[in-house]
């Protein structure tokens, strides 16, 4: 297959699996990501996937394209670097709420402020599943899942409100067991110009016996596209749509909305901001430049060290 030839879902599958637990929401998310990638019309080499630490971190190993399984909390800075080096890459970050919103929270906020054109997917299950079910940032205070000796002592964090406040210009929530709807959200996030997040309600049947499939099936509803218009089409709409999205983001209880909460492509991306300062950025971003230092290839480390030797 040519490097940039349109891919199918079969092209994105891998043969070797380490597997998640039976019934894990990560399976639905993986399928939705692969379906969305196949629908963009891009090739395998047009993508790069950066995952964090946790059960969801394995996702980059399970998709047949470029990918890095990163240090804990670090997929966003790595992804940002890749995107800025090669703006033609379609860059996707996949991490759990424990990875992206706890140890990685500073990077999460910074990506929103910069409006880097990447897609961030949060596998949001309220627990640290890989380390046996400790409370993670989205588990509400007072909740006691089966792995906790006492109810959670910390307040939970609202990923949608944090994303909006940080400056993300595409903010959505999906559900891991509604794969078709989720695929549509991820596809819209990939196509969006700017930083996009999709927070995904992802049941962890092994450690979270509160936010189960049954719990979400009873509560999750899709926002009516005829009544809910999240897209900012004119700067004068920005404040009103932002405030509406913020208000909608706290709706949680008997009814939990899914869909796109906010979308604004009027904000310049970080790549556009760089291009306004560095004239050659669009035509010759770092990935397209010759790798050399003072005429010597910087890929040849011996030559480089020799040139910097202190005698
Ligand atoms: Fe999925 Fe939970 Fe098992 Fe991890 S521990 S693979 S999140 S079900």
pLDDT in tens, the chain (311 residues): 556 788 888 989 898 777 899 999 999 999 999 999 999 999 999 999 999 999 999 999 999 999 999 999 999 999 999 999 999 999 999 999 999 999 999 999 999 999 999 999 999 999 999 999 999 999 999 999 999 999 999 999 999 999 999 999 999 999 999 999 999 999 999 999 999 999 999 999 999 999 999 999 999 999 998 899 999 999 999 999 999 999 999 999 999 999 999 999 999 999 999 999 998 898 888 888 877 767 766 666 777 677 778 87
Cα 27 to ligand 1 centre (Å):
10
Phi-psi region of 191 (alpha: psi -120 to 50; beta: other; left: phi over 0): alpha
Interhelix angle 105-114/159-166, rounded to 10 degrees, is 40
Cα 268 to ligand 1 centre (Å):
38
Point out which residues pair with 122 in neighbouring strands.
Answer: 95, 199
| 26 pocket-lining for ligand 1 (C-beta < 6 Å) | yes
SS3 66: strand
Query: For residues 264 and 168, what is the distance between their CA atoms, to the nearest angstrom?
Result: 9
DSSP letter string, 169-184:
SEEEEEETT-HHHHHH
The ligand 1 atom at the shortest distance from the C-alpha of residue 207 is 2
Cα 292 to ligand 1 centre (Å):
45
By most ligand atoms within 8 Å of CB, the mutation choice from 125, 204, 209, 211 for ligand 1 is 204
pTM above 0.85, yes or no: yes
* Atom 2 of ligand 1: nearest residue by CA position: 204
| 27 pocket-lining for ligand 1 (C-beta < 6 Å) | no
For the beta carbon of residue 286, count every other beta carbon within 10 angstroms: 12
Q: Are the C-beta atoms of 81 and 34 separated by less than 8 Å?
A: no
Cα angle for residues 230, 236, 241 (degrees, 5° grid): 25
DSSP annotation of 139: S
Query: For residues 299 and 297, what is the distance between their CA atoms, to the nearest angstrom?
Result: 5
According to CATH, the superfamily of the domain at 9-277 is Thiamin diphosphate (ThDP)-binding fold, Pyr/PP domains (3.40.50.970)
Q: Are the C-beta atoms of 54 and 81 separated by less than 8 Å?
A: no
Q: Which of 43, 69, 40, 41 is nearest to 55 (CA)?
A: 69
Q: How far is CA 228 from CA 186, 223, 261, in A?
A: 19, 7, 8
| 207 pocket-lining for ligand 1 (C-beta < 6 Å) | yes
* Atom 3 of ligand 1: nearest residue by CA position: 21
């Amino acid at each position: 297959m040519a490097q940039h030839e349109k891919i199918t879902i079969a092209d994105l599958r891998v043969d070797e699996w380490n597997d998640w637990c039976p019934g894990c929401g990560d399976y639905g998310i993986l399928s939705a990501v692969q379906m969305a990638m196949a629908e963009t019309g891009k090739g395998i080499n047009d993508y790069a996937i950066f995952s964090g630490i946790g059960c969801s971190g394995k996702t980059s190993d399970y998709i047949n394209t470029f990918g890095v399984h990163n240090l804990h909390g670090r997929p966003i800075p790595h992804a940002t670097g890749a995107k800025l080096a090669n703006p033609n890459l379609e860059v996707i970050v996949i991490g759990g709420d424990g990875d992206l919103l706890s140890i990685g929270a500073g990077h999460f906020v910074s990506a929103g402020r910069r409006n880097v054109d990447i897609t961030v997917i949060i596998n949001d299950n309220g627990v640290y599943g890989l380390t046996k079910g400790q409370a993670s940032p989205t588990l509400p205070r007072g909740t006691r899942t089966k792995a906790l000796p006492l109810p959670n002592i910390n307040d939970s964090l609202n990923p949608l409100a944090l994303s909006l406040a940080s400056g993300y210009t595409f903010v959505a929530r999906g559900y891991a067991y509604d794969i078709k709807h989720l695929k549509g959200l991820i596809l819209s996030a990939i196509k969006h110009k700017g930083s996009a997040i999709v927070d995904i309600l992802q049941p962890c049947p092994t450690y979270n016996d509160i936010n189960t499939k049954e719990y979400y099936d009873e509560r999750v509803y899709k926002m009516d596209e005829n009544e809910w218009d999240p897209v900012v089409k004119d700067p004068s709409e920005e404040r009103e749509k932002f405030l509406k999205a913020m208000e909608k983001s706290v709706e949680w209880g008997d009814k939990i909305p899914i869909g796109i909460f906010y979308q604004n492509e009027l904000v310049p991306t970080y790549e556009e901001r760089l291009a306004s300062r560095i004239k050659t950025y669009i035509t010759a971003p770092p990935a397209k430049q010759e790798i050399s230092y003072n005429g010597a290839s910087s890929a040849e480390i011996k030559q480089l060290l020799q040139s910097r030797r202190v005698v």
